[in-house]
Amino acid sequence: MADDAIELFRMLVDAGATPGEDFSYDLQRASAQISDRALEKLKLSYPDVDWLSICERIEIDPNLPIDHLNTYLGIDFVERLLLRIEQRLQQVAQGELAKAEAAWYLQQVLGGVEQRTNVPLYVLLQKRLPLQTQATLETLLRQPTAPCYMWMHDLVEAAGGNPTDVELRGDEATLTQVGLALLTTVWVGEYDLVEQISEAVAEEHTEEQE
């Protein structure tokens, strides 16, 4: 391994990146493949380094976070989720799903999953959609939203959960402990799911005592 590759390896490890998960090496080419998360760790740990020039020798591999996540869940989460998103877009085209709800769904799924897992979900989705559906996607992401909870259902099932792990009742959603664990593994958002679920459990416990 060349000296610069050894130095980069040391910096990645010191920054908190995990070999085999966040980055890997091609010894014959003396080059590295690193995930977006590993690159962000480098930027935070070494802010004075000109990473733009260094990245010319680094191949960012989007499959690293995908493979790691799928291995952790024991299921092809990314493919399952992409299929579900495509189905929702088809429902919009057929008039079976309101555009405002679809817009909310896409914001929660695309934004929450990418932020939590570093999987480039939007890019992957665009690559597999026909041009007309790509245009629909872009339009939905720019229009007003109406809150809904079907995104929770799709994320939990795509992550390997059961339909019963998310119960939708009108404007509310109830998750089992398994459902909550799966959701927080693949998604992060603006409100505290754990706190909300804990409050719901506490209310149920109080009712049982009465």
Q: What is the per-residue pLDDT across 148-207, written as a single tens digit (0 to 9) for each? A: 889 999 999 999 999 999 887 777 788 888 998 899 889 987 654 544 444 444 454 555
**Are both 119 and 149 inside the same structural domain?**
yes
**Are both 177 and 201 inside the same structural domain?**
yes
Cα–Cα distance, 34 to 22 (Å, whole number)? 6
When the pLDDT of each residue in the chain is averaged and rounded to a whole number, the result is 79
**Are both 31 and 128 inside the same structural domain?**
no
**Are both 158 and 180 inside the same structural domain?**
yes
Q: Is the separation of the CB atoms in 116 and 82 below 8 Å?
A: no
The residue among 26, 43, 61 that closes a domain is 61
Question: Number of helices and strands (H, E) in the chain?
Answer: 12, 5
List Cα–Cα distances, 177 to 49, 151, 182, in angstroms: 43, 17, 9
The residue among 61, 78, 93 that closes a domain is 61
**Are both 92 and 142 inside the same structural domain?**
yes
Domain range for residue 155? 70-209
Cα–Cα distance, 21 to 111 (Å, whole number)? 22
Q: Has residue 2 got a pLDDT over 60? A: no
Mean of pLDDT values over 12-16: 81
Q: What is the per-residue pLDDT across 100-142, written as a single tens digit (0 to 9) for each? A: 999 999 999 998 898 888 888 888 898 899 988 988 998 998 8
Give the pTM. 0.65
**Are both 153 and 118 inside the same structural domain?**
yes
The residue among 21, 37, 61 that closes a domain is 61
Confidence at residue 196, expressed as pLDDT on a 0 to 100 scale: 47
Confidence at residue 160, expressed as pLDDT on a 0 to 100 scale: 95
What SS3 class is residue 74? coil
**Are both 105 and 157 inside the same structural domain?**
yes
How many structural domains does the chain have? 2
**Are both 90 and 156 inside the same structural domain?**
yes
Paired tokens of 86: 């495509």
Cα–Cα distance, 137 to 8 (Å, whole number)? 39
Confidence at residue 83, expressed as pLDDT on a 0 to 100 scale: 97
Which carries the bigger pLDDT value, residue 43 or residue 30?
43
Confidence at residue 24, expressed as pLDDT on a 0 to 100 scale: 66
